[in-house]
Structure 1
């Protein structure tokens, strides 16, 4: 047991003893007083040992040339590298640095960087970062302190798992029988209707060939990893979450999962989305509608809708600020089929990372070695779980107008 856990255990026993005496409305017994004094001595000793351990850890960081809170023990450093982006994490690994030191005589190339992790930027309000944008104020969706675009993957729950395969319960419906009860009355019982679902781990990977000169330049290879490989992986993960793959042991995706609310087209996109919001609120008590997700072409048609006097109904094309529909943020995704709109609370969709991102670079084939080319591959492993499909509505807007409206 760790020192911290031993201390917590002693404090918990003390609180339990005090609560018991209070409930019995009495003073501590002589035996209890002796026990409390014994616990006090143990707690003081543990606190001193914890203090010394913390001092030793700080001393180790200083001796190892660490920079404070981001320093890690040698074991932790061997498992993962922490950086602002995956590209920087790759170029910070000992494997890459060793290759770079060997250039231009670094062939054959074999660089393996596993369990790469990124951390929040120390200056999140800066918009001078590469690729940074001024954040839009989208309540419930955007982190207003960090400049990043709002995407579909930012709506769902991202987490981790150690499982290769999971059977889980999808929540289909809830019968709410909560009520006021008098003393002695039978307490109410709410019921949950669930369906058994499965989640199988899947690997997402992409790669590209680079020259050995590109690979040896940490700025070039870092930007390529961040701008191409990780972007491609994100786009593919978004497609899996929305559409799935269709196989027996493959993720089904939101659009192919039974239980979502199906909203037929009515009059125009505005009316149809309004029906979707209303039906979600009727189906799920207290739901917070998180976003309206639509294909860019449908979003453009909505932006360009005009009244009978040829005036734009939206804040397009020159106004700034968030784009919303009935106060709900609008987010575009080219993966959403044109003519469909997703509305709802997407937090119950869980994309769990089983294996952190790994980047490998190698040229162990005759053709690449002869042409000074190296294959750079990025891959990671995930499970997809759609816990509560009824919190998402799929609306059909195929009949939505693309020109003048009738409002």
Structure 2
């Protein structure tokens, strides 16, 4: 699902239509048995009416999530000061960003006394984050985020946890459990990319162009950060990603994809871990979605990402009923990650921002380039809390 302002508008409109349908349905019901001033609905009428209620409740949940995602992406606010609707507020936000970028370019397309500048992007990857009911992308699972005041940071990684607690008689020596942590020092890395040179005349269409450019540059930084967190090699300027961290819980391929995925749940249950999320590559999520009884038979589950969890056809028996699920191309095909993502910390040294430059040769060509970047680090606090499942033999 692509999260856009248009999607939010459609959800709001759909809710209004369903509410109108519910009101119209109740207006056409014949008077029935009454209890005081309240008419009692028949079982059939109750079922129909509750269908409207459930639809409205689901639309409310989806609307809330889309608003939250648009806010995180810097495309919409949670609250609308002055009573503005979301679209009007988004237009004002875009204009404010456009004005900032215009000022960074020296006051407009024609007044370029200053030909370079910097623009902070609001609400990119906030240190404080509320877990989403239905995460839209992998980074939404990384709720353990802190701001650091220098480029270097230190964290303690738990490498052993053996519990020997038991009943002990008076006067006897108590058993010693093994709880080992190791200090790790690392540094933040710059995650960045450039736009291609573009004509400054595009600033004349500043609201639409600025919103588009901001979104593309920030999403690119997000994708780069996700890829580093998952698969970074730890060499050179690469972060040490989760898949290359020693001590994670390995889950080998067993019989088939579904059995292997369920084995990951068992592996973490056995060592007492409480997973908070799954992450699969789109191709592997499709494999789960398309499982059938046989070649022409019915589907075996409600699917991976959008399982309604209504009993038969649910896939909660595979993934767990309360564990969030994300599809992300940052996860390599053939690998699944199940983990307690609170045990993976993202360090934010420098939030995302866009630098704009129109100097040098660009000035002679009446062009500019934009650079989107941020400075981040990661630390896996307890590697065993992450099960890495191999989905092929």
Is the pair's TM-score, using the shorter chain for normalization, greater than 0.5? yes
Q: 1:240 aligns with which of 203, 222, 228?
A: 228
Task: State how far apart, in whole Å, the 1-side matches of 2:185 and 2:238 are.
Answer: 9
Q: C-alpha separation between the residues in 1 aligned to 2:184 and 2:124?
A: 33
In structure 1, how many angstroms separate the alpha carbons of the residues matched to 2:198 and 2:161?
54
1:359 aligns with 2:354: yes
Partner of 1:347: 342
User: After the TM superposition, which residues 4-403 of structure 1 pair with which residues of structure 2 at under 5 Å, given as runs?
Assistant: 90-91=97-98, 93=100, 96-97=102-103, 99=105, 101-106=107-112, 109-114=115-120, 116-118=121-123, 143-144=132-133, 150-156=136-142, 157-178=144-165, 190-208=177-195, 209-247=197-235, 250-283=238-271, 285=272, 287-308=273-294, 310-315=297-302, 321=308, 325-327=319-321, 328-366=323-361, 368-399=362-393
Equivalent position SS for 2:298: coil
* Kept in 2: contact 1:89–1:117 (CA 8 A): no
Unaligned runs of 5+ residues in structure 1 are 1-68, 72-82, 121-140, 400-407
Query: Is the CA contact (8 Å cut-off) linking 2:104 and 2:118 kept in structure 1?
Result: no
Deviation at 1:227, TM superposition (A): 2.5
8 A Cα contact 1:108 1:362, kept in partner = no
Number of matched pairs: 291
Once residues 91 and 314 of structure 1 are traced to their aligned partners in structure 2, the CA distance between those partners, rounded to angstroms, is: 47
CA–CA separation in structure 1 for the residues paired with 2:203 and 2:355: 12
Per-residue displacement from partner, 1:89-130 (whole Å, max 9, x unpaired)?
Answer: 74353x73474744423366222235x43299xxxxxxxxxx
Query: 1-side partners of 2:132 and 2:209: how far apart?
Result: 29
| 3-state SS in 2 of match to 1:382 | strand
The CA distance in 1 between the partners of 2:229 and 2:138, in whole Å, is 10
Unaligned runs of 5+ in 2: 1-78, 82-89, 310-314
Secondary structure, counterpart of 1:174 in structure 2: strand
TM-score, length-normalised on structure 1?
A: 0.62
Q: Aligned pair in 2 of structure 1 residues 117, 177: CA closer, same or farther (>3 Å)? A: farther
Q: Which moved more, 1:186-195 or 1:371-380?
A: 186-195
SS in 2 for 1:271: helix
Equivalent position of 1:26 in the other structure: none
* Secondary structure at the counterpart of residue 247 of structure 1: coil
User: Greater shift after overlay, 266-275 or 356-365?
Assistant: 356-365
Aligned-residue offset at 1:161: 0.9
Distance 1:267 1:86 in 2: 52
Query: How much has 1:181 moved relative to structure 2?
Result: 7.3
Q: Are the counterparts in 2 of residues 352 and 384 from structure 1 also a CA contact under 8 Å? A: yes
Q: Residues 287-319 of structure 1: CA distance to partner in whole angstroms, max 9, x if unpaired?
A: 3222221111111111111003611112259x8
In structure 1, distance between residues paired with 2:92 and 2:277:
27
Per-residue CA deviations over 1:357-392 (Å, capped at 9, x if unaligned) read: 2221111122x2233211111211111111111000
